[in-house]
A and B are shown apart, each in its own frame.
Chain A
């Protein structure tokens, strides 16, 4: 299987879906002539032409709302947010309109839109550009939200998102764009709502999504090599819908759970996961469920301090050692 970058994997998904379905159109700031602010869409304009790859003005509420409207009539817009942090200026379109149209119309309408872009900290761009709003999105019935951590998942989830008939919001990571991984050449999807056991283990379950999966895998190596602790790493991949069975199965096996996310702690995704575990696997737990989130402050600019703010492998190791 060829090894390609996360960035290349997303691009391949977009390009192949444009070829597969004439209604797929890419719209976003700098996606066409500039070849993408993070080069995810590089070469797509040249390959597919200006009808399928469209530069939008800096006008998120306008063009995202436009995409929602177009999707009601069967267009499948894939809207790029240069950063997910910019979603907040389009919130009414993304939350009120995209999520509620089906419900308020009694099921007469569906909104097959994809909104994608990076949502991560760790790049010294300050609080306004470092948001990870997957918990906000997952709080809204009608929306689906996925956070791929590897090139394989990035491509497979992107294809599933584009083929899905509901609004799917895909959160990538600029920190992961350069990561390489094996991606098959043949067509495949990763179903939305299916977690992945990225590493099997017997002593403790590390449950994570997005970049925290990579950090958890690094921590698992250290814990095995230096402490003889056998970690299982569960990659949620999808936040909503959620693969509860994989989580519960793992925790029942290991009896310990450490939840890792780059989200802020209060009402973060892992608050829901922790509730789930105590509700369905209480009798299997040998220790309280642990959480690691980003430190509960706006993302700090100062590069060395921002590194401390995010859940890195050493923090995960310490937390695991507390309960193992």
Chain B
């Protein structure tokens, strides 16, 4: 036996890693690409024809997401929400920018940090808040909770709790679109912590092998729960998304601080999906202000207060976008305040709605398990389905 202490052995000392002459040393943390320049990015082809009304709509959407989640945090702190609550605060430009590009045959699926995408595709705050409280009026009738929002009628396929578990499903949605000959795509979101799951790599291979119109979007907020990116992922210097090279897939790294940059990069991937039926791996840099979930009490220990403050003060996607609209004279301070107040009021009303809604009846535990029992259909399946006594 040699005497390597296994606990020390596994700790990677990033600072002291030596440059080898035969192997390119790679930084373990990808750099945020260029600083956001919204004035410039607003002139990019996908953004230049946006009307003022559309631009104001994006602000409204981002503010709605943030106020909803801030309100949900208070509800959580009141003890009315069970289990986990993973907040998207700080990342709003991603879901908003991506969803803003969706056409009739474009679909979305994501992981457990799923509120923003749901609100983005048009789910109401009421059904979303009620789901958090486990109420019968929730989008999943109180059966899914925070991590499992669904709205298939709006091309939103969840809301998935297992890290990386949704990535083969995303390939499957794209496969179905291609099979049916529909010109669309699936945007499959995942966190930077999901990129080391086997299912994700299998999905990348299938997507590239079979030319599936899927866009994998890594929402890189720098931390997989409490483990920073440099402690969890080995990857090419150019970024996490550069792993796509190994699958012969197009990729791009995007600065998520800018809603316009998000739209620009995602649009390129969408065109590739729509016109060439080709997948893309995108990495969008962003930041979450809250912990991994609200139960993550340590989130100020694995990162510095200064780091969080820097994002809040200098890189917040809503602040940057709002300032752009104000600077350009697209909104007035008065309208800005109005948008914010409306979002607060809507969130407040949703909290009231959720509070006053009934819990599901105990008998509803046994609904929504099998299509055949829900529909009393015995054409293919009969006999005893449940074994409660």
Contacts and interface: CB of A to CB of B under 8 A. Distances in A.
Given A65-B169, A92-B165, A241-B384, A105 B140 contact: yes
A110 B371 contact: yes
B291 interface: no
Contacts of A102: 368-371
Given A70-B179, A191-B380, A241-B381, A166 B202 contact: no
B287 interface: no
A281 to B, nearest CB: 15
A69 B386 CA distance: 25
Given A165-B372, A166-B371, A67 B141 contact: no
A142 B155 CA distance: 23
Interface stretch (B19-27, B143-151, B324-332): B143-151
A194 B176 CA distance: 32
Nearest to B202: A62
A87 interface: no
B193 interface: no
B339 interface: no
Interface in A235-286: 238, 240-244, 272
Contact of B378 (A92, A101, A191, A240): A191
A241 B165 contact: no
A13 B54 CA distance: 53
B122 interface: no
Residue among B161, B367, B385 with max Cβ neighbours from chain A (10 Å)? B385
A141 interface: yes
Contacts of B152: 72, 105, 108-109
Contact of B368 (A103, A163, A242): A103
Contacts of B9: none
Contact of B383 (A68, A165, A193): A193
Contacts of A57: 205-206, 209
B281 to A, nearest CB: 15
A241 B199 contact: no
B168 interface: yes
B382 A241 contact: yes
Nearest to A165: B371
A23 B203 CA distance: 22
Contacts of B372: 164-166
Given A142-B369, A243-B384, A74 B144 contact: no
Nearest to A100: B148
Contact of B172 (A56, A61, A71, A112): A71
B175 A93 contact: no
Interface residues of A, number: 57
Interface in A60-105: 61-75, 92-93, 96-97, 101-105
A93 B173 contact: no
Nearest to A52: B179
B168 A164 contact: no
B159 interface: yes
B143 A66 contact: no
Interface in A20-38: 23, 25
Contacts of B168: 61-66, 68-69, 93
Nearest to B368: A107
Nearest to A163: B380
B142 to A, nearest CB: 8
Contacts of B368: 102-103, 105-107
Given A59-B202, A71-B172, A109-B150, A189 B380 contact: yes
Contact of B158 (A51, A66, A101, A161): A101
A94 to B, nearest CB: 11
A163 B151 CA distance: 25
B251 interface: no
Residue among A71, A96, A164, A189 with max Cβ neighbours from chain B (10 Å)? A164
A65 B199 contact: yes
Interface string B127-161: 00000000000111111100010111100011111
A192 B373 CA distance: 13
Interface in A196-255: 238, 240-244
A191 B177 contact: no
B148 A164 contact: no
Nearest to B165: A92
A136 to B, nearest CB: 15
B162 interface: yes
B102 to A, nearest CB: 15
Residue among B162, B384, B386 with max Cβ neighbours from chain A (10 Å)? B384
Contacts of B378: 191
Contacts of B387: 242, 272
B16 to A, nearest CB: 37
Interface string A293-309: 00000000000000000
Nearest to B188: A69
A144 interface: yes
A160 interface: yes
B88 to A, nearest CB: 19
Residue among B160, B367, B375, B387 with max Cβ neighbours from chain A (10 Å)? B387
B140 A67 contact: no
B374 interface: yes
B383 A70 contact: no
B120 interface: no
28 contacts: A23-B179, A25-B179, A57-B205, A59-B205, A62-B168, A65-B168, A68-B172, A69-B157, A70-B173, A73-B180, A96-B162, A96-B165, A102-B371, A103-B143, A105-B140, A105-B159, A106-B143, A107-B367, A163-B380, A164-B381, A165-B372, A166-B370, A192-B383, A193-B381, A193-B382, A193-B384, A241-B385, A244-B383
Interface of B: 109, 138-144, 148, 150-153, 157-162, 165, 167-173, 175-177, 179-180, 198-199, 202-203, 205-206, 209, 367-372, 374-375, 377-387
Given A65-B167, A105-B150, 13 more contacts: A59-B202, A66-B172, A69-B171, A70-B176, A72-B152, A73-B173, A104-B143, A104-B144, A108-B152, A109-B157, A164-B381, A241-B384, A243-B383
* Nearest 9 Cβ contacts at the A-B interface: A69-B172, A65-B168, A193-B383, A62-B202, A69-B169, A107-B368, A106-B141, A73-B176, A241-B383
